[in-house]
């Protein structure tokens, strides 16, 4: 029993990690159908994701295959559509679902397109499961990063708004100014009401109003 479960698990992992695509190419190879399997990428080109009986010269295509099919939304779990192509690809099958689509580009037009569509439906169902798994995996990664950022932001905000000693803040501010503005010298003062206290830096760097600076850490306000 455990061996059967392990075998079943391995098959599922194989399918949802890209094996579903291999089952499709194995079927096409068995039928002697030479084809490329492509999907649109973010740049609007077609990326080759597998091939049957062909060796692609490039991993991207500029063929305007998508214009052969209406841009309607798939209202079923998955939809298969056939269209006659032109040039190198005499037959094209679109397999699409919610948020995904792939194209099967065939060198020759199949003798019975509707019959081929019927035979491809189980493989299209496996492709759908693979696409669903990819979307869920991507969403999980995004949620994981989001939770980490929220936790990091929470910890950062807590440290920012905690009471900070003025001397520590003065040192922090000095470092920021030195790294961003590169001044020759910096003096940070604290207003004590009737005089200024040097919190950071040298007292002799404070410009005096018409008189020399006394060598001490504070200066009387006029």
**Cα(215)–Cα(203) distance, rounded to whole angstroms?**
7
Contacts of 184 (CB under 8 A, 6+ apart): none
pLDDT higher than 50, residue 113: yes
Going from N- to C-terminal start, the domains of the chain cover 2-143, 166-220
pLDDT higher than 90, residue 183: no
pLDDT higher than 60, residue 170: yes
pTM of the model: 0.57
Is 97 within 8 Å of 74 (Cβ atoms)?
yes
Is 80 within 8 Å of 124 (Cβ atoms)?
yes
Instruction: Note the pLDDT tens digit of each residue in 40-88.
Output: 887 778 889 899 998 888 888 876 787 888 777 666 788 899 998 878 8
Regarding predicted confidence, which is higher, 100 or 10? 100
Contacts of 51 (CB under 8 A, 6+ apart): 25, 35, 36, 37
For domain 2-143, the CATH class is alpha beta
Three-class HEC string of 65-103: HHHHCCCCCCCCCCEEEEEEEECCEEEEEEEEECCEEEE
Residue 28 has a pLDDT of 93
Contacts of 88 (CB under 8 A, 6+ apart): 105, 107
**Confidence label for 25 from pLDDT (cuts 50, 70 and 90):** very high
**Confidence label for 216 from pLDDT (cuts 50, 70 and 90):** very low
Residue 121 has a pLDDT of 92
Question: Tokens at residue 27, please?
Answer: 């079927």
């Amino acid at each position: 029993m455990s061996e059967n479960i392990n075998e079943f698990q391995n098959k599922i992992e194989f399918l949802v990690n890209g094996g579903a695509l291999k089952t499709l190419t194995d079927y096409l190879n068995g039928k002697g159908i030479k084809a490329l399997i492509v999907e649109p990428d973010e740049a609007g080109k077609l990326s080759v994701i597998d091939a049957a009986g062909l060796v692609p010269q490039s991993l991207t295509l500029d063929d305007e295959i998508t214009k052969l099919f209406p841009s309607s939304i798939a209202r079923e779990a998955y939809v298969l559509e056939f269209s006659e192509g032109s040039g190198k690809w005499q037959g094209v099958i679109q397999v699409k679902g919610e948020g995904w689509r792939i194209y099967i580009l065939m060198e020759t037009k199949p003798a019975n397109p509707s019959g081929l569509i019927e035979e491809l439906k189980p493989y299209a169902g496996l492709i759908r499961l693979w696409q669903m798994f990819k979307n869920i995996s991507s969403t999980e990664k995004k949620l994981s990063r989001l939770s980490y950022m929220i936790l990091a932001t929470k910890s950062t905000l807590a440290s920012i708004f905690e009471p900070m000693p003025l001397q520590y803040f003065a040192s922090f501010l000095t470092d920021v100014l030195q790294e961003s503005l590169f001044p020759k010298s910096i003096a940070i003062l604290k207003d004590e009401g009737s005089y200024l206290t040097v919190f950071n830096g040298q007292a002799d760097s404070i410009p005096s109003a018409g008189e020399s600076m006394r060598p001490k850490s504070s200066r009387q306000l006029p």
